[in-house]
Amino acid sequence: MGTLANTSHGALRFARRRGRLTRRWALRAWLDFKDERAGRRNPLLPPRRMNLPSQIAGAGVQTVELMEQAGMTRDSDVLDVGCGPGRMAAVLTERLSPSGTYEGFDVMPKSIDWCRKAITSRFPNFRFQLADLENGQYNPKGTQKASEYVFPYGDESFDIAVAGSLYTHLRPFEAQRYLAETARVLRPGGRFVGTWFLINEESEQALADGKVLRPGLFSHTQPPLRLEFHLEDERGNPFRSLDPDTPEYMVAVDEEQVRADYERAGLRIVDVLYGHWAGRSNKDQHGQDVIVAERPK
């Protein structure tokens, strides 16, 4: 009897999940249709209904502007760490000259396939590589570990690097590896723009007060984000998440720990721009917290 009840409950949960996914797909398809009718469809970006991450074009523009403020020029050599389906690359096609170069890599095959088809075919100085790395959220069957990954580029190859909404999906010991590799491939004086969810006194209070929305298209219908799960990675580094089973869905780390990780990697922090994710009211801010760092000369 118990087995039959469990089976019924499992089938009901599956049906509800399928229903939610179908409704979300239908909404994305409707938004795609509206964009195409209004002539707002960017052929360099995947349609929403493909359900690839980081498809918000406005966030890509905002991050590229931060890169320009950090010193990127039209002739810069740019590295996009965790490039996704080309949110920033699409913007950079208008900001880099043919003598500038762009290299991006990501763990999702569909994202890399899209970027090669939509972007490299039009802009040959934009190149994309697949990194078959294990990630509980985006590539659970990856064959390599992010904590051991060597970026496929030579030392001192880039003037500027960017990682938008990447460290928010990496556990601390993986993020530490990425920081060290970013420092290695940057030229002396090169800048790095990376985004995080930083836990500090202000964001801690916002979480406690219920001012923080959950990430995603339907966040307004969900209860406030608490980040109640205090976890450790396999090397004992503490972090926070909203999902203990797939913590990579959203990772937040103590700000002081992140600052120490940058220093150990050989990156000097030159600015921290706190985002409005933690209930801050200034909507001109970036959504996530932004750290601008430099490889010292």
Are 28 and 51 in contact by the 8 Å Cβ rule? The answer is: yes
User: What is the sign, positive or negative, of the torsion defined by CA atoms of 271, 275, 281, 283?
Assistant: positive
pTM above 0.95, yes or no: no
| DSSP three-state, residue 159 | strand
Residues 6+ apart with CB under 8 A from 268: 262, 293, 294, 295, 296
pLDDT at 222: 72
Residue 247: Cβ-neighbour burial (10 angstroms; 0-12, 13-18, 19+): buried
Mention every residue, 6+ apart, whose C-beta is less than 8 A from residue 61: 91
Q: Give the DSSP H or E segment for 60.
A: helix 57-69
Statement: residue 27 has pLDDT above 60:
no
pLDDT score for 15: 57
Q: Calculate what percentage of the chain has a pLDDT beyond 90.
A: 66
Secondary structure letter of residue 118 according to DSSP: I
How many CA within 13 A on the CB side of residue 248? 15
Band (pLDDT 50/70/90 cuts) for residue 187 is: very high
**Between residues 270 and 210, which one has the greater pLDDT?**
270
What's residue 195's pLDDT? 96
Instruction: Please say whether the beta carbons of 207 and 226 come within 8 A.
Output: yes
Q: Is the pLDDT of residue 192 over 60?
A: yes
**292 or 137, which is more confident?**
292
171: tokens are 């556990």
Token pair, residue 96, equals 């880099």
pLDDT band at 127 (very low <50, low <70, confident <90, very high): very high
Average pLDDT, stretch 284-290? 86
Would you call 54 helix, strand, or coil by DSSP? coil
User: CA 271, CA 291: separation in Å to the nearest integer?
Assistant: 6
Looking from the CA of 273 toward its CB, the CA atoms found within 13 Å total: 19
Helices (H), the chain: 2-38, 57-69, 87-92, 109-115, 172-185, 201-208, 255-265
Asked whether residue 277 carries a pLDDT value surpassing 70, the answer given is yes
In what helix (H) or strand (E) does residue 67 lie, and over which residues does it extend?
helix 57-69
Residues 165, 288 contacting (CB under 8 angstroms): yes
CA nearest neighbour of 118 among 84, 96, 91, 86: 86
CA-nearest of 179, 296, 203, 208 to 252 is 203
> In 104-171, which residue ranges form alpha helices assigned H by DSSP?
109-115
* Between 112 and 27, the higher pLDDT residue: 112
Question: Cα 17 to the chain's mean position, in Å?
Answer: 25
Q: Report d(CA 274, CA 23) in Å as an integer.
A: 34
Tell me the two tokens of residue 19. Answer: 């229903």
Range with lowest mean pLDDT among 1-15, 142-156, 171-185, 282-296: 1-15
